[in-house]
Amino acid sequence: MNRSGKYRDLRQAAGAAVLALVSLSTVHGHARAERAAPGASAALKLNIPYQATTIGQLPLWMAVDGKLFQRYGIDASAEYAGESPALVASLLAGETPFANLGQQAVVSADLNGGDIAILVSGPEKLFFGLYGKQGLHRVADLKDGKVGISRFGTTTDFIARHVLTEAGLDLKTEVTILPVGSQVQLLAAMQKGVIDGAVLGPPIMIKADGLGYPKLADLLDDNLLFYTDALVGKRSWIAAHHDATLDVVRGFVAGIAAVRMHKRTAVATLSKYTKIKEPVLLDGAYDLLVRALPQIPAPKPAAIATSLRSASNPTAKKADPTSFIDASFVNELARDGFIARLYKSQE
C-alpha cells in the first residue's frame, strides 16, 4: 500500500500518509458513508474529517453541532484526522467520500491521478499573516533569516513562498523555510529566537498582534483567491450519489450561513473546538473569518490557477483549473433560491 509515493510534491515523508491511512482506518472507522440499518434511520451516516483545528473549520463545526446536515437527510459528524496527506489518502482509498481540506492537497493529488474535487470553497481568502521578530519592518528584512511554517506542502508553506518571492527574495540562497509544527509551536519558536518569522493564522496571529510582533504581510488584504478549508469530495462517489452529495452541500452551505448570521453561537462553537477562552482572540478570529467567507461559496478556477502556477509537477503547466473543482452543486443552490432563503431565516 505505497499510495503516498504518488504525492511527492506534498513533500511529506513517504510513510506519513500510509501511517495516517492506517490510523484513519482504525481510529476513524466510521468515516465510510453508509445507510443506517433498516428501522433505525433513513439518514445517510457520514463522517466529514478535517485537517486542522483552525477557524476555517467553523462552518463544518456549526453545521454538525447545529444538526444542519440532518435537515437534509445527512447524519453527519466531524472528526479531526490529521494533516492533508492523511485526508487525501483516506479519500483516495474510499475511507470517506468527503473531507475538509485545502486546495494544495487537491491539486497535488489530482495532478498525480487522483479523482477528488472542491465542491464548496469555504473561506476564499487567506486570513494569514507573515510575522517577523521584533525590529523587522518589511518582508525583505527576512533576508538571510529563517521563516517557520507548519509543514512542507501545506498552506503555510505556500504562503511563505508566495510572500517571500513577491518581496524579491531568493528561496534558495536568501532565506530558509523551516517546518516547525502547529501555530502554537510557530509562535513559541519565534519567541525563543529559533526562527526570524512565521506564517500565522487566527487566533494565534491575534495573540502575536497583542505581543507586538510586526505583521510584515497580511494575506487578507491581498487579491489572491485561495481555499484553505474547502469541502472536497471523491468524484466517483459523487457521480454515483448526486442527490446525497447535494444534501451534503446543503448542510455545509447552511453552516456557512449560520456562521455569518449567528456570531454568539459561532464564537461559542469556536471556543469549544479550539479550547480557546480569551474573548479578544475568539472575537478577532471570528471577524477575520467572516471577511473571508463568501455568501455563495462556489469554487472558482482563479483560485486553483494559483496552485498550478506554483506546483512543481510538470503537468501543472497544461492542467485546466476547472478540472479540480465542481461548482455545480453550489450554483444549483444559488439558482433555486436555497442560499438566499438561508439568510432570510433567523432560526
Q: What is the pLDDT of residues 288-334, one digit of tens each?
A: 999 999 999 999 999 999 999 888 889 999 999 999 999 999 999 99
Name residue, grid cell 476555517. 56
Is pLDDT above 70 for 4? no
- Please report which confidence band the pLDDT of residue 21 belongs to, taking 50, 70 and 90 as the band edges: very low
Across 123-129, average pLDDT = 92
- Of 338, 97, 110, 125, nearest to 229 (Cα)? 125
Alpha carbon 257 to chain centroid distance? 18
Which residues, in sequence order, are CB contacts of 67 under 8 Å at separation 6+? none
> What gap in Å lies between CA 293 and CA 121, rounded to an integer?
9
Is pLDDT above 50 for 7? no
Which residues, in sequence order, are CB contacts of 333 under 8 Å at separation 6+? 246, 249, 250, 253, 339
User: What CA–CA distances, in Å, run from 74 to 67, 83, 220, 309?
Assistant: 9, 25, 33, 37
Domains of the chain by start residue, with CATH: 3-124+227-344 (3.40.190.10), 129-221 (3.40.190.10)
Say if residues 111 and 6 touch (Cβ distance below 8 Å).
Answer: no
Q: What is the pLDDT at residue 51?
A: 85
SS3 state at 44: strand
Say if residues 56 and 289 touch (Cβ distance below 8 Å).
Answer: yes
User: What CA–CA distances, in Å, run from 27 to 21, 65, 187?
Assistant: 10, 21, 30
Question: Of how many residues is the chain composed?
Answer: 347
Say if residues 86 and 10 touch (Cβ distance below 8 Å).
Answer: no
> What gap in Å lies between CA 55 and CA 206, rounded to an integer?
12
Q: What is the pLDDT at residue 346?
A: 53
Spatial strand order of the sheet with 34-35 comes to: 34-35, 44-47, 74-77
Grid cell locating 203: 487566533
For residue 74, list its beta bridge partners: 44
SS3 state at 189: helix
Which of 2-6, 186-190, 206-210, 282-286 shows the lowest per-residue confidence on average (mean pLDDT)? 2-6
Across 21-31, average pLDDT = 33
Across 19-36, average pLDDT = 34
Q: What is the pLDDT of residues 231-273, one digit of tens each?
A: 999 999 999 999 999 999 999 999 999 999 999 999 999 999 9
Say if residues 69 and 75 touch (Cβ distance below 8 Å).
Answer: yes
Is pLDDT above 50 for 37? no
CB burial readout 268-281, b (16+ within 10 A) else e? ebbbebbebeeeeb
Say if residues 342 and 254 touch (Cβ distance below 8 Å).
Answer: yes
Grid cell locating 266: 459561532
**Dihedral sign of CA atoms 332, 34, 56, 149 in order:** negative
Phi, psi (rounded to 5 degrees) for 261: -95, -20
Across 217-242, average pLDDT = 93
Across 58-75, average pLDDT = 97
Grid cell locating 95: 475511507
For residue 199, list its beta bridge partners: 130
Q: What is the pLDDT of residues 151-190, one digit of tens each?
A: 887 788 989 999 999 999 999 999 999 999 988 999 999 9
More confident residue, 84 or 123: 123
Which pTM was predicted? Answer: 0.80
- Please report which confidence band the pLDDT of residue 13 belongs to, taking 50, 70 and 90 as the band edges: very low
Is pLDDT above 80 for 279? yes
